[in-house]
């Protein structure tokens, strides 16, 4: 197992530890045995997938991605089909693949950032607008920015992530930029990188805190480091109780499932449900096998650094936010995309 993968698994354990501590301190509620055992088994299966020497045909990942799309209906399947056709064309006709992918990512960052801005959705001015469906475009821009950083680690792109995070008040966007940069550069960091990264995260946290104060009148403090994981983990525990043993496929049927999860609790915003939430909701006790698949996916991209970095970045964000079909599709497409880069590298050296 590589060092970055150990870090990722460590982040999972830290989240669980903080969540349990937060539940005890703020909710006076000890963790339930069943959900905790399931979470640890899921991580164990993921670790097994990273360790086992099992060769997976690259087209298997395309089949898995397409199978996931069935749950979201014909329009998502059509979009996936188009994306796969584009990838096949990319493999055959694009010579400078990494450069092309980077330029495409930069273009998409601009497009997805401008969509809500041109629609007048600016959460930094009106924080309540962050729950508007179109505001999710900022988050998509954040994921694409993380891809761009994985391809070409740059302090400028790290700054772009912080800027989008500030405008949108989504801390996730800043975390995506920070994590992709962190995984790309680990363990060697220059002093200016540490300063920019640290200040960027602090700024994103402050902007989100002041936005929350405008909405609720409460300024978020350091207690959020325990309270937020505790809340997310509590959501996961409840989902575990209502989904076992066979699952409900609730998350797979929704492109932005956070709203549907919130409805279960009587909420109207997007709820986070942790990396363990989606497997248990959709597949019940068989969801731990998804952990094995994710571990295999991570192992399959090890030889292509940018893909390895981006996959770990997405999975790390999912520790708290939770998995869904778009994220799983990206994760399962990465091994296929990596195989294209490996094939080109072997041709260049032959």
**Along the 350 residues of the chain, how does pLDDT read in single tens digits?**
899 999 999 999 999 999 999 999 988 899 999 999 999 999 999 999 999 988 889 889 999 988 888 888 888 888 888 888 888 888 888 888 899 999 999 999 999 999 999 999 998 888 888 888 899 999 999 999 999 999 999 999 999 999 999 898 898 999 999 999 999 999 888 877 778 777 877 777 777 666 666 655 565 555 677 888 999 999 999 999 999 999 998 898 898 899 899 999 988 788 999 999 999 999 999 999 999 999 999 999 999 999 999 999 999 999 999 999 999 999 999 999 999 888 766 565 54
- Residue 199: helix, strand or coil by DSSP? helix
- State the Cα–Cα distance between residues 145 and 140, nearest whole angstrom: 9
| CB distance 159 to 106 below 8 Å | no
- State the Cα–Cα distance between residues 188 and 20, nearest whole angstrom: 32
Q: What is the dihedral of CA 237, 243, 249, 255, to 10 degrees?
A: -20
Confidence (pLDDT) at 116: 94
Judge residue 133's burial from the number of C-beta atoms within 10 Å of its C-beta, 0-12 exposed, 13-18 middle, 19 or more buried: exposed
- State the Cα–Cα distance between residues 200 and 163, nearest whole angstrom: 9
- State the Cα–Cα distance between residues 117 and 189, nearest whole angstrom: 34
């Amino acid at each position: 197992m590589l060092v970055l993968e150990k870090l990722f698994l460590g982040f999972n354990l830290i989240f669980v530890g903080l969540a349990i501590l937060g539940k005890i301190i703020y909710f006076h509620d000890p963790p339930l045995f069943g959900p905790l055992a399931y979470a640890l088994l899921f991580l164990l299966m993921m670790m097994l997938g990273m360790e086992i020497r099992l060769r997976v045909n690259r087209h298997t990942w395309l089949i898995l991605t397409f199978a996931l799309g069935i749950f979201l209906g014909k329009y998502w399947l059509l979009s996936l089909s188009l994306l796969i056709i584009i990838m096949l064309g990319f493999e055959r006709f694009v010579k400078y693949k990494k450069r092309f992918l980077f330029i495409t990512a930069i273009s998409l960052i601009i497009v997805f950032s401008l969509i809500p801005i041109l629609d007048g959705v600016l959460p930094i001015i009106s924080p309540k607008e962050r729950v508007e469906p179109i505001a999710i475009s900022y988050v998509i821009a954040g994921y694409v920015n993380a891809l761009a950083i994985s391809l070409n680690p740059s302090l400028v792109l790290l700054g772009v992530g912080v800027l989008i995070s500030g405008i949108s008040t989504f801390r996730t966007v800043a975390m995506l930029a920070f994590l992709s940069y962190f995984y790309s550069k680990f363990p060697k960091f220059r002093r200016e990188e540490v300063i920019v990264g640290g200040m960027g995260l602090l700024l994103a946290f402050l902007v989100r805190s002041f936005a929350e104060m405008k909405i609720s009148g409460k300024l978020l403090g350091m207690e959020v480091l325990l309270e937020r994981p505790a809340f997310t983990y509590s959501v996961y525990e409840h989902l575990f109780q209502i989904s076992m043993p066979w699952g409900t496929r609730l998350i797979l049927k929704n492109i932005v499932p956070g709203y549907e999860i919130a409805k279960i609790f009587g909420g109207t915003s997007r709820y986070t449900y942790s990396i363990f939430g989606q497997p248990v909701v959709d597949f019940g006790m068989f969801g731990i096998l998804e952990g094995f698949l994710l571990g295999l996916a991570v192992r399959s991209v090890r030889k292509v650094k940018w893909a390895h970095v981006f996959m770990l970045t997405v999975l790390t964000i999912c520790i708290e936010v939770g998995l869904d079909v778009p994220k799983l599709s990206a994760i399962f497409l990465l091994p296929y995309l990596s195989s294209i880069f490996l094939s080109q590298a072997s041709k260049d050296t032959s």
